[in-house]
Every structure is written in structure tokens, then in C-alpha cells.
A and B are shown apart, each in its own frame.
Chain A
Amino acid sequence: MRLINFGLLLRAWRETLGATLVFTMIIGSFGGLLSYALPRVQERFMSRGFIPPGLVQLRNTMMGVDSNASGVAEIAYTLAWSHPVIVALLFAHAIIVTTRVPSGEIQSGTLDVLLGLPISRWELFISETLAWLVTAALVVGSMFAGSYIGSFWVKPENQPNWSLMGIVLANLALVYVLIGVCGLLASVFSDRRGRAVLFVMIFAAASVLLNYLELLWEPAKRISFLSVLHYYRPALILREAAWQGKDMAFLGGASAALWIVAGVKLARRDLATT
């Protein structure tokens, strides 16, 4: 049984390439800027020996850990890699790309032509996923590339360990993938792309909000496991110099399980434009 169709891959890339390049450039540039600026800012704060408590609280919230014991590179790069703009851009890309099929195609009316061709639903789903993952590699990789380039102008002692940053990249990629799989899932359950996008956006926004609330409000801690960012641990990876295996396994496992559910649903549901 053929599971990958090169024509479908080309079609998907043709439709997503423009958006992917824009996101790649923005994320890479912004990531680079953060990686250039934040170590300097952090170093200046530390050299003064005093940081306003409010700022420490904000920093802790963004990092998800107590940052007082951390060094410049650890703080700066954790903040850069969990900056809300970066997270929002990554989530937006995942949502835009993954909600195209089938709900976007149903809405635009092109699905009837597409499904009239000799392809199986699984072939369509796997090809779409593969095409998306290639664009994902570009977008998520651009954060690493931007960060790496931005760090050229940072003092060597304030630069991170790039092997550990590779693990942070893997952790971020898994978070991105889980959001994208939620997009696929919402899309196969809906005939309206707007509805699918809204559903995943609410989930993503709630995740971000819960992640911040977790450190500020005790009751939020009890349900923080529901946030996808709860499993994103750049600070711990850089501090402990280790994979956060459990968290990453959860992200990978949840993504795989939801992806299978989405594929089965797509293979079984009625599909036609209205």
C-alpha cells in the first residue's frame, strides 16, 4: 500500500511555502535579536547586583523555574526560547498549516476534486503530515539558526552549550508538533476551517495562560498538567544539562496518539463540500 504521494507533497508545499518562509524569517530574525540582546541585558542586571523583585517574578514566570540560581546564558537563552512572541508565532504556523486538510479544503470547495483522484485517505493524511513536518523543521530550525547567529556577538562566557540547546530545540519542536497535531485533529472533526483554528487557538492560549498562572496562583498548579507548555523545560535542560525525558516522551506520545485518532477519523468520516 502506498502511503506517500509525491504529488500531494508538492501540492501541500506549494500552498504552505509562502507562509512558511515568512514565519521562518520572522522567527529567525526575532530569535536572533533576542539571543543577541538578552545576554547583554541580563549581564547588566547581574553586574548591578540588584534586580527589582517584580522583574524577578516576571522572569521566573516566563522561565517556569526559580531563576535566582541561574547564570546569564541560562536565563537569557531560556527567556529567548520561551518568549511569548516566539511561542505565538510557532503556534500560529502550526495551526495555519495543519488546519488546511480537510476542513480548509472543504470550505474552499477543492476537496471534491482532490478526493476524486486515486488517493486513499491515509495517503492524503500521511502526505499532508509529512509536508507539514518538513515546513516545521524549517520554522523551528530557524529559531535555532537565528539564536546561533545572534550569539556570535555575545561574550563566549555568556553563550549557551549548543548541545544542550539542541535538546531545547527538540523539546520546543515536540511542543510545536503537539499543537500541530491538535490542528490536524480539529480539522478532521470540522467542516469549517475557522472553527478548527478557533478550537486550537483557544487550547494554545489557555496553555500559555495556565503556564504563567501556575507560578502566580496556587489553584492553577493543580491543572497545569493540561498546558502543553507544562512539558516545555528549557531552563531545566540548560541547568541540569539533561534531557527532560518524561516531559518529552509525554509530548511525543500524546502527539502520536492524537495523530492516529485524527487519521482514523479522516479515513472513516464522510467528506464532501457542502
Chain B
Amino acid sequence: MAYAVLTESLTRRYGSRRGIEDVNLAVSEGSLHGFLGPNGAGKTTTIRCLLGFLRATTGNARIFGLDCWRDSRTIKAEIGSIPGDLRLYPWLTGHSALKLFGRIRRRDIQAKGKLLADEFELDLGVKVRQMSRGMRQKLGLILALAPEPRLIMLDEPSSGLDPLMQDRFRQMLKRMAARGQTVFFSSHTLNEVEALCERVAIVRSGRIVADATLDDLRRQAKHEFEIVWADAAGERTPPPPFATLTARSAARWVGSVEDGSLRPMLDFLAGKPVSDVRLARPDLETLFRRYYESDDEPGTAGPSRPGSANAASTDAGLNGSVGTPATAAFPAGRASEVRS
């Protein structure tokens, strides 16, 4: 498989301060790859290493097979990027920006830039110093996308865009990926990643704690259960060995079951005085929150050992029969942002 981005044990330290540690990323060409993590997790540092702004302390990073530090200039001819905290020269207008950036890139990007401006509904005649944050973000995106780069690398690209523009922007990215362009973008917005990505890498405390497709991430999470007993005062058999209880009272058990133990759990419950049972995998948001919030060492944290996130689920066969009806059983809300 051809990779647009490939890092091996990429580590970047700022003196004694942590940057990123042992980051292994593989972004396939033509894919939409999300890079998710809370603020300060290391997303921007990783992107800066990839763009050749920062030199790796150890490890290496390659884009289209070229070294990100040594061949930075060659690589960036194939990249359209936008930084997380976008600042443009205040004296530029949209038109002059397209002209200037085209000159620096040594190619004409004005025609494509005007098309994108129409799509983003941006007036290119306004000076940057008079633009709102959203307008500046649109101009930044236009400047990144207009050269039609092979790799689009965006650091929290939709911040400042209204929901309508966010949708339009996502459609745009999907079209570009369908044409074979690779999209790698960081975000701390879950629904953005969910709406766009085929695959997501999650970074926490400078380390990648998961790198998998969304379906795999869902499958890897343990099923969680909540059992409400009909006879609160009745005798209980001990819980089966494949189930771990996290809360237990006379009337209610809450816990999780090992992978592949869904059917045995249902068998265990058969014939028992159960008044209500909820059994499902956590939804994506709950899952991400756990990756974000776990105090454990990365690699062992989160649901079902995120370090091994590429492994296929062992009880995928039960997913449809039991998981689907119960999916809504662990409501966590569909907040638009997941923050640590």
C-alpha cells in the first residue's frame, strides 16, 4: 500500500517538556485520515514535524517517501496546509493573496481559487485586516486547496466556520479524497471526524493511543451492561468469570463483558429474574472520552487496549443481533465537541 504519510517512532521533545513520543502513523494515499486529540495532546507538534518546521528528536517522518526535514521544500510542493492558529498578512486581499501565494508556489492558482471562493461564498476583494475570523479561515482554506495538492494537511480546519460552511467544506474534502487526494486533518471535534474520516488516529499526552477505522474502534470496545433485578432482595449467583462488575447493588449490576462473551452473558441471564437489561458497546463519543480522559499510561488505556486497535473484533458476529437494539442504552449525548 502506498502511504502519503508514514512516521516511525517519531519523537519530538522541547527540552524537558513533552512534545510527542514514539508516534507511528500511516496515512494511505487517497484516504481521509483524522487526527484526534484534546488540546495540547501533540497534534500540532506532529503536523509541524511533518511540514518540516520542527526537527524530530528521534525517529523519522516521511511524506510520499521523502524525508520531512531534508526534503521539506519538495514535499511542500505537493501539500496544501493550514495552521491551527491561522494568521495572514493584514495587507492582503483575497485576490492579492491568490496572486502572491501563486507566485511563491510558482504556479497560477487564481482560477481554482476563485472557484473555491464562490463555493465558500467569500468576497476576495476584502482586506484580511477587515475580515472576520470565519472569513480569514475560508481564505486560508482556499489558499491551501487551490493548488490541488496531493496531500491536504489541515490543523483544526473548520474552527471559525459556521455549521453550513462546515458541511460544505466536508463535502469538498470528500470530493477531493474521491479524486485521489489524501486528506489528513487534526481536530478535537468528534462529529467532524465521524462525518469525514475513514480512519482516525487518537493522540493523548504526546502518544498515539489508537489508530484504526471508526468501525474497528467501535468493535474493539467491550460490551457494557446494566441489569436491573426484578427481586431486589433475592439470592444472587456470583457474576460469571467473563463479566467485570463496576457497580453492584442488590437491585442493579453494572459492568462489562470480555470480547466474545456476549452470547454466554445472555445465556447466563436466561431464566433469571431480570426486570430490565441493557447491553451495548459504548457510542463513539463515550469511547473517545475514555481515550482522552484515562489516567493510565497510553497503550494500556481506554477501551480494549487502544495500542492494539488494528486488531479485528472477536465478537463481530454478535454485533448486529444484540448491539444494535441496545446502542442507545448508554446515552452520553451527541455533543459536538469532545474536550479533555
Contact = CB atoms under 8 A, between A and B. Distances in A.
Interface stretch (A4-12, A154-162, A169-177, A239-247): A4-12
Given A15-B89, A110-B87, A271 B104 contact: no
Given A270-B53, A271-B53, A117 B87 contact: no
B54 A109 contact: no
A6 B103 contact: yes
Contacts of B252: none
B55 A118 contact: no
Given A7-B100, A7-B101, A116 B83 contact: yes
Contacts of A109: 85, 87
Contacts of A116: 51, 76, 79, 81-83, 144
Contacts of B53: 112, 115, 270-272
A225 B105 CA distance: 45
Interface in B46-91: 48, 51-55, 72-74, 76-77, 79, 81-83, 85-89, 91
Q: Classify the interface of chain B: helix, strand, loop or mixed.
A: mixed
Given A116-B79, A117-B105, A123 B73 contact: yes
B85 A118 contact: no
Interface residues of B, number: 31
A7 B85 contact: no
Name, among A6, A7, A10, A123, the residue most crowded by chain B CB atoms within 10 Å (CB to CB): A7
Contact of B83 (A7, A10, A108, A113): A113
Contacts of B51: 115-116
B87 A112 contact: yes
A14 interface: yes
B34 interface: no
Interface in A130-184: none
A120 interface: yes
A11 B104 CA distance: 9
Interface in A250-273: 268, 270-273
A51 interface: no
Interface of B: 48, 51-55, 72-74, 76-77, 79, 81-83, 85-89, 91, 100-106, 140, 143-144
Interface of A: 5-8, 10-11, 14-15, 108-110, 112-113, 115-120, 123, 268, 270-273
5 contacts: A7-B102, A112-B86, A113-B86, A119-B104, A270-B55
Q: Which 9 A-B pairs have the closest CB atoms?
A: A7-B103, A7-B104, A109-B87, A112-B83, A118-B77, A118-B76, A116-B81, A120-B73, A272-B53
